[in-house]
Amino acid sequence: MTQYDKRLVSKKELKTLCGIPYTPQHIGRLEAAGKFPKRVQLGPNRVAWLLSEVDAWVGERIAIRGASVDDPASF
């Protein structure tokens, strides 16, 4: 496991560093539905996400976008 795999990002960094435009409430809904990486509980009032998992999630969204554009049957 590399240092990058262990890097944590906060709610604020999800937006600023990762470019995730969702509100914390929507992220919570996506997590509950299994459609966003699960948070890591750091303390009673502090959570973060593994940057490697968030990056993989973004990559999946990009791949889905590419697949729908390349596949005329998906329209």
User: For residues 75 and 37, which has the higher predicted lDDT (pLDDT)?
Assistant: 37
- What does the domain layout of the chain look like in residue ranges? 15-65
Q: Return the pLDDT at 3.
A: 65
What's residue 60's pLDDT? 94
Compute, in degrees rounded to 10, the torsion defined by CA atoms 5, 16, 18, 25. 100
Euclidean distance between CA atoms 23 and 5, whole angstroms? 24
pTM, two decimals, is 0.80
> What confidence tens digit (pLDDT) does each residue in 3-59 have?
667 899 999 999 999 999 999 999 999 999 999 999 999 999 999 999 999 999 999
Give the model's pLDDT for residue 35. Answer: 97
Specify the pLDDT at position 75: 44
